[in-house]
């Protein structure tokens, strides 16, 4: 590595004394340009000033600081008049702007004291304004303020916070506004997920194309020991029509994820069956289910009340699911009968179906099913004719995904 192109002097103070020798307007521009390549969310920091008037300023420097105690921070330019009013109030509310709140962002970035005209808000617990339409808010008391160059680092202790809407957040990048396009997401890396995550990375394009073409959500599910993990998702939905989240874990247990088991070694099948609690389990019915899935090449889980209840209860559990939560989920799976889970007959174009998910296996180069692709969010009910269309597109995508894995040498 050579010399850094621009070196900052760490001394604080006024004017030229802050700058390293040779630091000029070119270096200032470079600083802004390079730092602008780091994308940020956008918040409006609000407070009620000593005269009882609301104050607010746009900030891109909001960050979480500590979980215990719960601390967050933002950085404020000391000359800002809004900041001075926020500072003296002793508390502030962070308002996380949604993608359609660009006008709100501009209003609160302009200098002046009249920023609240036409803006709907209500007081948070501290009295600071909680703006209408935000994605989330965090109400804080000022804990400490640290001087850093021409800015103050303002640390707040969280009093109360909440997610206010399911909207996507506003983003700021290279001087422009944008929004988070989650064409696809992958689960946070954990040691046991490295292989499945590598596989998801290789089939992302197929998942995104399929989700866009069918306008449904496509999940990639992997079996990791005795658990199923949602390792990838593509396609977004305006409303939450089901409860499965990225990173979610569930018990790997009959009749769930039959397409990950139908082609597996006998030991995997036996373990899948053995995990079902209770002695009076109709294991033969689950075995018939596997034969059916293997013959068809796909699996159709009907939206029984029992399956939906299981998904809802799993969604309320922690992402890292504890042993006792797993036990509860295993017990809930017992209520799902093999026969009501998957129809034995082929799809009838003249019928209507209530479908929880439609799934197909993605094979690695060793011939084992390494991921299950599942379509979620199908119309409820869906016509048999449409279901055939969904199934055929899913099978074609799963085939392409298997080829991509084989080519990459993914087992
Ligand atoms: C996207 C964006 C992010 C900003 N982030 C900050 C910030 O983190 N800290 C800050 O002091 N000013 C930030 N500003 C500028 C302030 O919003 C602006 O200087 C202030 O609201 C001026 O109003 P005032 O004179 O009432 O203080 C940002 C502006 C924009 C557009």
User: Which among 358, 347, 348, 251 has a CA at the least distance from the CA of 303?
Assistant: 358
Q: Is the pLDDT of residue 319 over 80?
A: no
CA distance 365 to 106: 52
The pLDDT tens digits of the residues spanning 42-59 come to: 999 999 999 999 999 999
The pLDDT tens digits of the residues spanning 205-214 come to: 999 999 989 9
Query: Hey, CA dihedral for 298, 300, 306, 311, is it positive or negative?
Result: positive
**Span from the CA of 106 to the centroid of ligand 1 (angstroms):** 9
CB 86 near ligand 1, within 6 Å: no
Residue intervals in the chain for CATH 3.30.450.40: 184-408
User: Which among 189, 184, 201 has a CA at the least distance from the CA of 404?
Assistant: 201
Residues in the chain, total: 411
User: Which among 224, 222, 256 has a CA at the least distance from the CA of 233?
Assistant: 222
Q: 3-state class of 117 per DSSP? A: coil
CB 112 near ligand 1, within 6 Å: yes
The pLDDT tens digits of the residues spanning 113-165 come to: 899 999 999 999 999 999 999 999 999 999 999 999 999 999 999 999 998 87
Max alpha carbon distance in the chain (Å)? 82
What letter would DSSP give residue 21?
T
CB 255 near ligand 1, within 6 Å: no
Q: What is the pLDDT of residue 238?
A: 47
Q: 3-state class of 313 per DSSP? A: helix
The pLDDT tens digits of the residues spanning 93-115 come to: 999 999 999 999 999 999 988 99
- Based on the number of CB atoms within 10 Å of its own CB, is 240 exposed (0-12), middle (13-18) or buried (19 or more)? exposed
Please give the CATH number for the structural domain made up of 184-408.
3.30.450.40
CB 197 near ligand 1, within 6 Å: no
Residue intervals in the chain for CATH 2.30.110.10: 39-179
Q: What is the pLDDT of residue 237?
A: 54
End-to-end CA distance of the chain: 38
**Span from the CA of 142 to the centroid of ligand 1 (angstroms):** 19
Confidence of residue 318 (pLDDT cuts 50, 70, 90): low
Q: Are 256 and 311 in contact (CB under 8 A)?
A: no
39-179: CATH topology is: Pnp Oxidase; Chain A (2.30.110)
């Amino acid at each position: 590595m050579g010399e850094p192109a621009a070196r900052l002097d760490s001394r604080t103070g006024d004017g030229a004394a802050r700058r390293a020798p040779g630091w000029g307007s070119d270096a200032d521009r470079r600083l802004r340009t390079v730092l602008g390549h780091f994308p940020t969310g956008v918040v409006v920091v609000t407070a009620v000033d000593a005269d009882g008037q609301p104050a607010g300023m746009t900030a891109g420097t909001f960050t979480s600081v500590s979980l215990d105690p719960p601390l967050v921070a933002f950085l404020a330019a000391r000359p800002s008049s809004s900041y001075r009013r926020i500072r003296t109030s002793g508390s502030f509310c962070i308002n996380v702007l949604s993608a359609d709140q660009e006008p709100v962002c501009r209003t609160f970035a302009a200098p002046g004291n009249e920023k609240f005209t036409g803006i709907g808000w209500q007081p948070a617990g501290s009295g600071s304004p909680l703006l209408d339409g935000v994605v989330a808010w965090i109400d804080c008391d000022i804990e400490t303020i640290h001087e850093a160059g021409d800015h103050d680092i303002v640390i707040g202790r969280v009093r109360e916070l909440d997610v206010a809407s399911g909207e996507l957040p506003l983003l700021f990048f290279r001087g422009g506004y944008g929004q988070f396009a989650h064409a696809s997401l992958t689960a946070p890396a954990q040691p046991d997920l490295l292989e499945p995550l590598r596989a998801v990375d290789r089939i992302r394009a197929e998942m995104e194309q399929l989700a866009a073409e069918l306008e449904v959500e496509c999940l990639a599910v992997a079996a990791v020991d005795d658990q199923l993990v949602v390792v990838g998702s593509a396609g977004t939905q305006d409303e939450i029509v089901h409860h499965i989240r990225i990173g979610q874990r569930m018990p790997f247990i009959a009749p769930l994820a039959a397409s990950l088991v139908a082609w597996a070694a006998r030991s995997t099948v036996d373990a899948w069956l053995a995990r079902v609690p209770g002695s009076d389990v109709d294991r033969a019915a689950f075995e018939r289910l596997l034969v059916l899935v293997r013959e068809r090449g796909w699996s159709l889980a009907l939206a029984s009340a029992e399956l939906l209840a299981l998904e809802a209860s799993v969604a309320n559990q922690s992402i890292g699911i504890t042993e006792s939560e797993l036990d509860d989920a295993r017990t809930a799976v017992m209520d799902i009968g093999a026969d009501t889970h998957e129809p034995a007959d082929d799809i009838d174009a003249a019928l209507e179906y209530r479908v929880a998910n439609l799934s197909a296996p993605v094979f690695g180069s060793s011939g084992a099913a390494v991921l299950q692709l599942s379509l979620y969010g199908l119309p409820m009910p869906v016509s048999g004719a449409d279901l055939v269309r969904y199934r055929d597109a899913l099978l074609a995508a799963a085939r392409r995904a298997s080829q991509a894995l084989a080519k990459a040498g993914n087992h």
